[in-house]
Chains A and B, each alone.
Chain A
Amino acid sequence: MTTIFGVALPVLTGQLLIGLINGSFYALLSLGLAVIFGLLRIVNFAHGAFYMLGAFAAWMLLNYAGIGYWGALFLAPLVVAVVGMVIERTMLRALYGLDHLYGLLFTFGLALLLEGGFRHYFGTSGQPYAAPEALRGATNIGFMVLPNYRGWVVLASLVVCLGTWAIIEKTKIGAYLRAATENSTLVQAFGVNVPVLLTLTYGFGCALAGVAGVLAAPLFQVSPLMGSNLIIIVFAVVVIGGMGSILGAIVTGYMLGIVEGLCKVFYPEAANIVVFVIMAIVLLLRPAGLFGKDS
């Protein structure tokens, strides 16, 4: 059997794949955080809760409305976006003029409210959600056997991430968004409706978390607490990457997922904390983060 550094190849590729999948979720979630933070200057603590909401929306669509995976992939993020936009319009808006810490505290409360609510009504045990018919089974791709759904998750998250990057960097609405990030007062003076832009941006960031939730539903069980531990790792990812850049958030997300996967092969005891250790090292050497530009 082929071995690399004394580790059997299937073990290595298997963990790499798991790392790549975790990295897909890190990338999707930190991308949403970066988009929201860029314009609204709010660290969205509720991002993990919105991810959970996306997964539950898919589960509810299936069980209460009979809408399957492909429908949910579009509808669930929409539901999450609408919830997010309502919250932004009615409550979050009042905090824009204040210290950024209040935004963090408010969304922390929101996360507790959503997770506490779902835990009260659905319990802590997860609900199963089956992968769609077309993506079941596995394909032999020469050096390893790839479960189809896992391949799909990596592909889909890549497409969504790059699509988001293209929208922000290459389209007119993206140009508005970037301009408003630099100087929102001036953009408003040019006749762009900045308050609506803020609402849409928050909704879009939440929708990204919702997409991640739907993608995660067949992989992990749909449970109220699925987001709360993930969000802290994503925070560390964001600190490592620096919140300034969209592409930085995506690259750091995948990179750390893979590092974590490799760590599981070579030093499994530290796999849970490797991201945090990297964060501490990066902060000591480069406080602004790998892709951050410090003010």
Chain B
Amino acid sequence: MSATHADTIVMPTRKSPVPAITFAGLILILAILPAFVYPIFVMKLLCFVLFAAAFNLLLGYTGLLSFGHAAFFGGAAYVTAHALKVWQVTPELAIIAGVVTSIVLGLIIGVVAIRRQGIYFAMITLAMAQMFYFFCLQAPFTNGEDGIQGFSRGNLFGIIDLNETMNLYYFIAAVSVLSLALIWRIVNSPFGQILRAIRENEPRTISLGYSAQRFKLAAFVMSAGLTGLAGALKALLFQFATLADVAWQMSGEVILMTLIGGIGTMAGPVVGAGILVGMQNFLATSGLPVTMVLGGTFMICVLLFRRGVVGEFLHLLERRKG
């Protein structure tokens, strides 16, 4: 994937005020948005923004296409829901349990998958995630087709009642913004530079003395953990976790979000998740077959629109400049 979108990445310089202004703007928008938009919709959107951003950390900045991220998303959702329902712990502990699960899963799948590259990597992650799907289908604690549902969100730190929509909204908004800032920080750190070097030219990075396998595994586990956080928040928000969260269609959806928005751009996953979640909301009421439209969108994006919305926009800016 590297050569085609390398030109779309704008490296912010260290002292640039743009990221700070962007994040300030994002916080401002999130603070006033519930006055205009249904808060549940915004929260759902935030979960998928975080999911897509975590996925993009792997695809966009390390050049690894995972077809198995649903395992981390759904695995964390299941454990969070189980912790809230059966163990009856506070929500922050339930979320941590979910994230730890996805990190462990990420380690196991990552160790196997990074042994191959390119399309093999995609197929292996898909197969491993499908294995996890069958595990969830049969394991007793997931309740099979019914999923885990009907639990209270509980009190955050034992004090703040998350069953109040606005409390939940500010909690999810805060966690999402902090996670996005963390991803931005990872991407713009020396570690992120090495990831990009691996994406551009792996043999050369190895010859410079970096252990590419170890960096790839680290990126994979970070992406899995952040994906798990998104899944845990989703379980908390909708108060259920089902097989749909671990199914391969979910892995496909997050790829499409990243592709529509722009692979390897910071804003791409945000825009892509917005477009896809909005589209699904619209299609759900329109009677059009959702899967068919998604498939068609996929084909069109790959054929004509590989830079994505944000990527095309940045490309235009570049062309204007010089």
Kindly provide the distance from the CB of B107 to the nearest chain A CB, expressed in whole angstroms: 13
| Residues of B contacting A232 in the complex (Cβ-Cβ under 8 angstroms) | 126-127, 130, 248
Given contacts A94-B303, A277-B131, A112 and B1 within 8 Å (CB-CB): no
Q: Which residue of A lies closest to B256 (CB)?
A: A109
Q: Does B44 contact A (CB under 8 A)?
A: no
Residue of B nearest to A46 (CB): B295
Contact B128 A280 (CB under 8 A): yes
Q: Which B residues lie at the A interface, using CB under 8 A? A: 1-4, 65, 112, 115-116, 118-120, 122-124, 126-128, 130-131, 134-135, 137-138, 248, 252, 255, 259, 289-299, 301-303, 306
* Chain A residues closer than 8 Å to B126, beta-carbon distance: 232, 235
Q: Does A120 contact B (CB under 8 A)?
A: yes
A114 at the interface (CB under 8 A from B): yes
Taking CB atoms and an 8 Å cut-off, the chain A residues in 207-264 that contact chain B are: 232-233, 235-236, 238-239
Q: Give the CA-CA distance A99 to B135 in the complex, in Å.
A: 33
Contact: A105 with B298, CB < 8 Å?
A: yes
Task: List the B residue with the shortest CB-CB distance to A94.
Answer: B303
Contact A276 B127 (CB under 8 A): yes
Contact residues in A for B289 (Cβ distance below 8 Å): 116-117, 119-120
Contact in complex: A287, B115 (CB < 8 Å): yes
Q: A interface vs B, CB < 8 Å? A: 43, 91, 94-95, 98-102, 104-106, 108-117, 119-120, 232-233, 235-236, 238-239, 269, 272-273, 276-277, 279-280, 283-284, 287
Query: Judging by beta carbons under 8 Å apart, are B303 and A105 in contact?
Result: no
B4 touches A98 (CB 8 A): yes
Task: Tell whether, in the assembled complex, residue B127 and residue A110 are in contact, meaning their CB atoms are under 8 Å apart.
Answer: no
User: How far does the Cβ of A239 sit from chain B's closest Cβ, in whole Å?
Assistant: 6
Q: Which of B116, B137, B248, B295 contacts A287 (CB 8 A)?
A: B116
Chain B residues, CB < 8 A from A277:
131
CB–CB B252/A112 < 8 A:
yes
Q: List the 3 shortest-distance A-B pairs measured between CB atoms, nearest first.
A: A109-B298, A112-B295, A116-B291
The reply to whether A101 and B123 form a contact with Cβ atoms under 8 Å apart is no
Write out the residue numbers on chain B whose beta carbons fall within 8 Å of the beta carbon of A236. Answer: 123, 127, 130
Instruction: Knowing A116-B291, A117-B289, A276-B127, say if A110 contacts B119 (CB, 8 Å).
Output: no
CA distance A195 to B157 in the complex (A): 64
Which residues from chain A contact B291 at a C-beta distance below 8 Å?
Answer: 112-113, 115-116, 119
Report the Cα distance A143→B137, complex, angstroms. 36
Give the chain A neighbours of B293 by CB distance below 8 A. Answer: 116
Q: A239 is contacted by which of B123, B252, B259, B306 (Cβ under 8 Å)?
A: B123
Asked if B131 and A273 make an inter-chain contact with CB atoms under 8 angstroms apart, the answer reads: yes
Residue of A with least CB distance to B299: A109
B290 contacts A283, CB within 8 Å? no
Is there contact, CB below 8 Å, between A235 and B123?
yes
Given contacts A232-B127, A276-B131, contact A112 B292 (CB under 8 A): yes
Residues on A with beta carbons closer than 8 Å to the beta carbon of B127: 232-233, 235-236, 239, 276, 279
Q: Are B306 and A110 in contact (CB under 8 A)?
A: no
* Minimal Cβ-Cβ distance residue in B for A91: B303
Chain B residues contacting A273 (CB-CB under 8 Å) are: 131, 134-135
B116 and A108 contacting across the interface, CB-CB below 8 Å:
no
Is A102 a contact of B295 with CB atoms below 8 Å? no
Partner pick for B292 among A99, A104, A117, CB 8 A cutoff: A117
Q: Which residue of B lies closest to A105 (CB)?
A: B302
Contacts of A272 in B (CB 8 A): 134, 137-138
Task: Looking at the assembled complex, report how far the CB atom of B124 sits from the nearest CB atom of chain A, in whole angstroms.
Answer: 6
14 further contact pairs, Cβ within 8 A, besides A108-B252, A115-B291, A272-B134: A99-B1, A101-B119, A106-B298, A109-B299, A112-B295, A112-B298, A232-B126, A233-B127, A235-B127, A238-B123, A276-B131, A279-B124, A283-B124, A287-B116
Using Cβ atoms and an 8 Å threshold, which residues of chain A touch B135?
A: 273
Whether the Cβ atoms of B123 and A111 lie closer than 8 Å is no
**Contact (Cβ within 8 A) A109 B297:** yes
Instruction: Please give, as numbers and ranges, the residues of chain A lying within 8 Å of B306 by CB-CB distance.
Output: 98, 102
Q: List 18 A-B contacts (CB under 8 A).
A: A43-B119, A91-B299, A91-B303, A94-B303, A95-B302, A99-B118, A106-B303, A108-B298, A109-B295, A109-B302, A112-B291, A112-B294, A117-B289, A120-B289, A235-B127, A236-B127, A276-B130, A284-B112
